[in-house]
Amino acid sequence: MSRSDWSLLHGLQIDGRASYADLARTTGLPQPVVTRRVTRLLSSGIAVLDVDIAPHILENKVAAQIWMSATPDRLEASGRALAAFPEVAFAAAVSGTRNLVVFIECARHEDIFRFITTELARIDGIRDIEVVPTIAVLKRATSRIDRGDVLIP
């Protein structure tokens, strides 16, 4: 990657909604060059667009973390099965007293209960779970949240 590519990535990190014209102004590169390089960065997978949307916009009003233990021989398969559910916003194998964690977002508390008792219950290898309901989201990825609205970082 060139120094110009790094400048473009930095500009997009500051404002992912920046236009090619804005990026050209901040980097000093001609706009056609900015357009080509950003297209290349995106198509190659070097840069990935990630959008934070306030959950209430998507009607996902409640969230929970579910910490669980999976048997070692089923850890990867269990994690991949969990990651496939649309309710799961984040899934990871972790170390500590539990070895798997997911963050889920649902429209209602009843949907969290249904997810646990039907979807999660079907996954082979899960030994035990701890559900931690989210009371208030203060930051989502790199965006701060204020009363349900996403604030520009």
Question: pLDDT tens across 42-96, in order?
Answer: 998 888 877 666 666 666 688 999 999 999 999 999 999 999 999 998 899 999 9
Q: What is the mean pLDDT of the chain?
A: 87
Kindly state the tokens that stand for 80: 């991949």
Residue with tokens 């236009």: 19
For 134-146, the pLDDT digits (tens) are 888 777 665 555 5
The half-sphere exposure of 49 on its side-chain side, counting CA atoms within 13 A, is 10
Do 89 and 136 have their domain in common? yes
Other beta carbons less than 10 A from residue 2's beta carbon: 8
Residue with tokens 């000093």: 28
Q: What distance in Å separates the CA atoms of residue 40 and residue 44, rounded to the nearest whole number?
A: 6
* 19: CATH: 1.10.10
Q: Does residue 21 belong to any structural domain of this protein?
A: yes
Do 17 and 72 have their domain in common? no
Q: Does residue 108 belong to any structural domain of this protein?
A: yes
Structural domains counted in the chain: 2
Q: pTM of the entire structure?
A: 0.65
* Domain region containing 22: 3-43
pLDDT over threshold 90, residue 147: no
* 67: CATH: 3.30.70.920
Q: What distance in Å separates the CA atoms of residue 38 and residue 68, rounded to the nearest whole number?
A: 40
Residue 56 pLDDT: 62
Kindly state the tokens that stand for 4: 């110009």
Answer whether 153's CB lies under 8 Å from 96's CB.
no
Q: Does residue 50 belong to any structural domain of this protein?
A: no
Kindly state the tokens that stand for 7: 């400048």
Between these two residues, 8 and 150, which has the higher pLDDT value? 8
Do 100 and 38 have their domain in common? no
Element (DSSP H or E) covering residue 60: none
Do 37 and 65 have their domain in common? no
Q: Does residue 76 belong to any structural domain of this protein?
A: yes
